[in-house]
Structure 1
Amino acid sequence: MQTQAVIDHIVGWLKDYAATARAKGFVVGVSGGVDSAVVSVLTARTGLPTLLLEMPIRQKADQSGRAQAHIEDLKKRFPDNVQGMSINLTPAFDTFAATVDVDEADYPAKQLALANARSRLRMVTLYYYGQINGLLVTGTGNKIEDFGVGFFTKYGDGGVDISPIAGLLKSQVYQLAAALDVSQSIQSAPPTDGLWDTDRTDEQQIGATYPELEWAMGVYGWNTPEDFTGRQREVLETYTRLHQAMQHKINPIPVCGIPPALLAP
């Protein structure tokens, strides 16, 4: 990959899109992970106003620490156009969780629903600050998450205006991170969505590593799990199941077509 050329291309694309949309700049949610770190540097490099939001919800100290340190680093590197804020959403989430509380024995999907609610609360916050400042909500999903296994929340972190790195594999995002001088603490941190009270890495939740998923994405459609054995078969089975299940997240909302004869007066 021509890393510097890719960086320049994305930065130029961001500037052009903002101009076409008549937006002042960008707002990015910074989590302490590599994807949001890369996106935030790319938006900062446009020279346009860039607002970085850390939005902790019962967040682990190491995640918040990395996010805050990254924001401070970018404010120093781009003092003319980067601002940062920390918006503690824990009280709002706790109130919501208490208001909709149900017995988990009766509703086994409760914890997953609450995890997704965290992501959706952050989306609402990003759009609030985006709207009052005239900024585009900028997505941080990569190609594997957004188009491979659907590892994002519908109308949560999937609710954005633009997606600058959704055409890049996770390994390519890491290449950009190194070229953009993202801190080593972020580059070496195990990927996690940070939506649970317990530590759950992406690999633990998905059942495969990102390199394995990149391999599966490459062979999917050309091969079936039955063409492989052992770990490769397991990974392709996982990828196939998740890819098929994610279609509702990326396809247009189904609209019921009404026969014209039924609409006639």
Structure 2
Amino acid sequence: MTTIDPSRLVFVGGLHRSGTTPFSRVLDGHPDICGLTGTGVKEDEGQHLQPVYPKAKVYGGSGRFAYAPQAHLTEESPLVSAANAEAMLAAWRPYWREDARLLVEKSPPNIVMGRFLQALYPGSAFVVVVRHPVAVALSNKKWRRFTSSDPRKFQSLSGMVDHWMRAHETLAADLPHLDRVLVVHYERLVSAPQEELARVADFLGLSTPIDHSALSASRGDPYAARWAEYAGPALRPGAVQRRLITRRFGDRMRAYGYDVDDLSAFTPPSGPASLRS
């Protein structure tokens, strides 16, 4: 079996419900790129196939995993070894078309594992998708309602926003250690897809454009409408959570380029908390 050149590997990360799945599918539509397909696991995520590191659900799953220090893997992890690098590739390669120039693996916990993946596969690329923390929280609440009956998996909107902050603080601290990394903001991806995907194509060294026709800005509309409802009378459902989120996280959101009142906008931020993009 031939060894896969690590420079062909592209790891996509981002919190659950941040847009990593539609983004990865768009990448997979390019003739030079192949993502994991036909795996039989949730969203074709590589984390569910590999035998080396614990899956996000071990640390509480979406809305919780980034709190666990053990989930933040770096080049210092004892799991970094040539044997483990080969074991992970062996689990993924049956689901790639190996004649593709670039091979994509997408898993949400990659957002806090970039340094680990880089240590295993020097020269690989890392793309992280970032979305407004409130939109991520609202989407997770809706998603969990339909995918789980375990009451331990439910938490408040403010708790999910707090988890977003923790995950992205970890990411911001890791970015200077990553050699090939691109931050993609979901809001730009759906509002100006041609421009944003041209940036991605340039980063990946593609000679032809990435098709943007499958991306739609309307996907986030229900969450914006729900958030607007929460701005109503104090006793209405959600109003307490909106006030709490605004008070606790409004300034911190702005440091990342997000306005607590507008779920569709992203403004490039400045300051120590900003994510290089």
Instruction: Indicate the structure (1 or 2) with the bigger Cα radius of gyration.
Output: 1
TM-score by length of 1: 0.37
Structure with the bigger RCO (C-alpha within 8 Å, sep 6+) is: 2
TM-score by length of 2: 0.36
